[in-house]
A and B are shown apart, each in its own frame.
Chain A
Amino acid sequence: MVFANLDELLHMGGHGPYVWVSYGVSVVALAWLLVAPLLRRRALLRDIARRARRDANRNPQED
């Protein structure tokens, strides 16, 4: 590691805020890109299953 201690790592010779905000915002953005479609999938499947059940109750001979 090029940093001697945690303080140096956070400070980065005065560039710490620029670097850490860049990385922090990026991690949040990537996490959102990952989680959003996973949540959407859950909601979609739940929705489709509910609709299928409703249709099955309406036409019991079909299923």
Chain B
Amino acid sequence: MWAYLERLWHRLGSPRHFYDLAGWWLPWLAVSSLLLLGVGITWGLLFAPPDYQQGHSFRIIYIHVPAASLALTGYFAMAVAGVVVLVWRMKMAEVVLQSIAVPGAVMCALALFTGALWGKPTWGTYWFWDARITSMLILLFLYLGVMALGSAIASPVLAARATAVLAIVGAVNIPIIKYSVEWWNTLHQPATFKLTEKPAMAPEMYWPLLVCALGFYLFFAFVVVLRVRNAVLEREAGARWVRELAGEGR
């Protein structure tokens, strides 16, 4: 078992092996994510019952919660990759870190945008400077910072280290976002997903949310893998195997 995991780790550390291995995951990720998203969105939008207080506006939850959850998870994953960059100097971790930045920023922006549209009919305002919303806005700026820093520094080694440091330092914001609804008196409602308790939502609203969230996570993994593979091709553009691959016109 350990020997297998160790071998897998080393294979994932090599750009070429990562590229091939990730190529195997792609069709599975594509099919499962699009299927789950299709089912989850249709279910949530057309078949889940309306909320007894919020009416139909609550249907925004099927996008808002998965996007917000991914924005946090994505940043956390960037911070983990950042640690691997700084400690082990692993090239693939640099690539993964940069590849998460754009999809993560999009998820964060979607969470803020759908939250604003949900806030208007529910609280009477698109925007409110409460702890949850403000810390989420800071997360978006952190994502944009990682993107900008990665492209602003010409030396790839320095750029990787600088973005790793920013990703790690910025991760302080993650628990602040997560617990903001408990630590402060926010306008935002408390967490929908709780690992230790039964959900407060009715099952016919909760199940489509789980399906949507799983679909969003798989979709995120799918597009990150696409970006990682592009970055490998770009970095290894001079390598023989990349040239052969390009020559085949695949």
Contact = CB atoms under 8 A, between A and B. Distances in A.
A32 B55 CA distance: 30
Chain B contact-residue range equals 35 or more
Given A2-B47, A26-B114, A37 B226 contact: yes
B106 interface: yes
A25 B113 contact: yes
B172 interface: no
A1 B46 contact: yes
Nearest to A19: B59
A29 B196 CA distance: 33
A32 B113 CA distance: 16
B1 to A, nearest CB: 34
B63 interface: yes
Contacts of B41: 23
Q: Provide the main secondary structure of the chain B interface.
A: helix
B59 A40 contact: no
A12 B233 CA distance: 47
Contacts of B37: 30
B67 interface: yes
B132 interface: no
A25 B233 contact: no
Contacts of B56: 12-13, 15-16, 19
B248 to A, nearest CB: 9
A14 B102 CA distance: 34
Interface string B81-116: 000000000000000000000110010011001100
Interface string B13-57: 000000000000000000000000100010001111110000111
A18 B117 CA distance: 5
Q: Which of B37, B237, B245 has the most CB of A within 10 A?
A: B237
A16 B60 CA distance: 11
27 contacts: A2-B46, A3-B46, A12-B56, A13-B50, A13-B55, A13-B56, A15-B57, A15-B59, A19-B45, A19-B56, A19-B57, A22-B118, A26-B67, A26-B110, A29-B110, A37-B226, A44-B230, A44-B233, A44-B246, A47-B246, A48-B237, A48-B242, A48-B246, A49-B247, A51-B237, A52-B243, A52-B247
